[in-house]
Amino acid sequence: MALQGGAAPAASLPSSALAFARTEYHERLAAVRASMEEKGLEVLVISDPSNMNWLTGYDGWSFYVHQAVIVSMKDDPVWWGRGMDAAGARRTVWMSQDHIFGYEDWLVQNPDAHPMTVLAQLVSDSGHGASRIGVELDNYYYSAAAHLALTAGLPDADVADATGLVNWCRAVKSPAEISYMRRAGEIVTEMHRVIAEVAEPGMQKNALVAEILKAGALGTRGAWGDYPAIVPMTPSGMDATAPHLTWDGAPILRGTPTFFEIAGCHRRYHCPQSRTLFFGEPPNKYRKAEEALMAATAAVMGAARPGATCAEVALSFTQTLNRYGFEKNSRCGYSVGLSYPPDWGERTMSLREGDETELEAGMVFHFMPGLWLDDGGIELTETMLINEVSAEYLATTPPGLVVKP
């Protein structure tokens, strides 16, 4: 189980290729180490690709195999993953090549062996075989088999749950991160403009989605579009009574609601936004739902400010919605930023009852006032940035329903 380590030849990564200044990566690392120290951890094994990217810059579609970043209290982080992906690490991370290790390809999806045994050996060889080690137990990318193999390979270690440790360090965005999210906001604004312009009655749904994806990839004003962590959600009619259906080849019909939950993405930073389309005048109940959601949205924008809690913001939404005769039992928002599939949420705070997290300037939320009715759905969502005094939108799409003749 030899490691294909940092000695592999490759050109040094030019500083200009990094998404952020090296000083910002160092500040992030310091924040993670402070949280590790608070939790009594000596080593952190990070498998979430969003957290790997945030700490090291690593950016590759390799999260379908086992990979990790190892953080200790000293020295730079270590990237570890499939041998062929080490070349991608050398092109994207800020660390030196001797902090990049790849495992052999016979370990990939092999039912008789597991790559985590190699990671365990690497941790042990670095002098941490008996350390207190944090892992992201409740994470899309860290399987039960991975945990069993890692702990079996580190019998003297104290392996603890560190789910969300790095995610929470990411909660307040830096000015550079916010600039990327503003560019994503410009992109999603353009994507919704394209929907309003090209959608026609009878148009096949997949053809419209092709236009949405094209607009998202082309970007705007020199800000190129990255792939979003979630594909476009575009249900119509009864399909729109459910929030997470995608598309098919059926035509879009007159008099039937279709909502579009999409995101602009730039350098992995997301700005989600939803709008609902009607061909012809919407039924009265949809106009009433629109009125309720717009009023509830105004209430949230008035309540969202530094020092307010997530629960207080959510209460302003639900109370306003209830006054208009509607109810929404699910959360009405969640933190967003840097992400990879299958989710653009950061899996930290939510705008809902019981979440007493205090808002801080630099936090960003996908505010999600969707209503799913008996014959369709309506989504009019926004990505909002908490600034120094209040909240602001990161996209400029016109509010309300999109109605075409």
For CA atoms 221, 223, 225, 229, the dihedral sign is: negative
Strands 100-103 vs 3-4: parallel, antiparallel or unpaired? antiparallel
As a whole number of Å, the end-to-end CA separation of the chain is 65
Backbone angles phi, psi at 181, to 5 degrees: -70, -30
Asked if 71 and 39 count as a contact pair (C-beta separation under 8 A), the reply is no
Per-residue model confidence (pLDDT) at position 221 = 83
Tell me how far apart the alpha carbons of residues 27 and 364 are, in angstroms, rounded to a whole number.
Answer: 20
User: pLDDT at position 143, please?
Assistant: 97
SS3 77: coil
**CATH of the structural domain 175-404, one choice from 3.90.230.10, 1.10.357.20, 3.40.50.300, 3.40.50.2300:** 3.90.230.10
B/e letters for 42-69, b = 16+ CB within 10 Å, e = fewer, are bbbbbbbbbbbbbbbbbbbebbebbbbb
Q: What pLDDT was estimated at residue 17?
A: 83
- For residue range 1-29, list pLDDT tens digits in order: 345 554 344 445 545 589 999 999 999 99
| H or E element in which residue 378 lies | strand 377-379
Strands 377-379 and 333-336: unpaired
Closest CA relative to residue 346, chosen from 359, 355, 337: 337
CATH class as words, domain 3-169: alpha beta
Q: What is the DSSP string of 138-184?
A: SSTT--HHHHHHHHHH-TTSEEEE-TTHHHHHTSSPPHHHHHHHHHH
pLDDT at 16: 56
Domain with CATH 3.40.350.10 in the chain: 3-169
Nearest to 350 by CA among 369, 329, 331: 331
Q: Is 170 left (phi over 0), alpha (psi -120 to 50) or beta?
A: alpha
Angle in degrees, CA 197, 200, 206, rounded to 5:
95
**What is the distance between the alpha carbons of residues 81 and 47, in angstroms, rounded to a whole number?**
10
3-state secondary structure of 366: strand
Provide the whole-model pTM: 0.95
Burial 128-164 (b: 16+ CB within 10 A, else e): bbebbbbbbeebebbeeebbebbeebbeebebeebeb
Task: Choose among 150, 167, 160: nearest CA to 54.
Answer: 167
**Single-letter amino acid code for the residue at 218:** L
Q: Which of 185, 184, 125 is nearest to 153 (CA)?
A: 125
Chunk the chain into consecutive blocks of 10 residues (it has 405) and report each block's average pLDDT, rounded to whole numbers.
Answer: 45 67 98 98 98 98 98 97 97 96 97 97 97 97 97 98 98 98 98 98 98 98 94 95 94 95 98 98 96 97 98 97 94 97 98 98 96 92 98 98 96
Give dist(CA 402, CA 278) in Å, integer.
Answer: 6
Residue 163 near residue 70, CB atoms below 8 Å: no
**Closest by CA position to 378, among listed 237, 230, 263, 202:** 237
3-class state of residue 215 by DSSP: helix
The pLDDT > 90 percentage for the chain reads: 94
Tokens (6 digits) for 110: 């092999």
pLDDT at 222: 78
pLDDT tens, position by position, 207-244: 999 999 999 999 998 799 999 999 999 999 999 999 89
Delimiting residues of CATH 3.90.230.10 domain(s) in the chain: 175-404
Q: Using omega within 30 degrees of 0 as the cis cutoff, is the peptide bond preceding 282 cis? A: no
The residue length of the chain stands at 405
What is the pLDDT at residue 4? Answer: 52
Q: What single letter denotes the amino acid at residue 115? A: P
pLDDT, tens only, 339-366 = 999 999 999 999 999 999 999 999 999 9
Angle at 170 between CA 165 and CA 173, to 5 degrees: 165
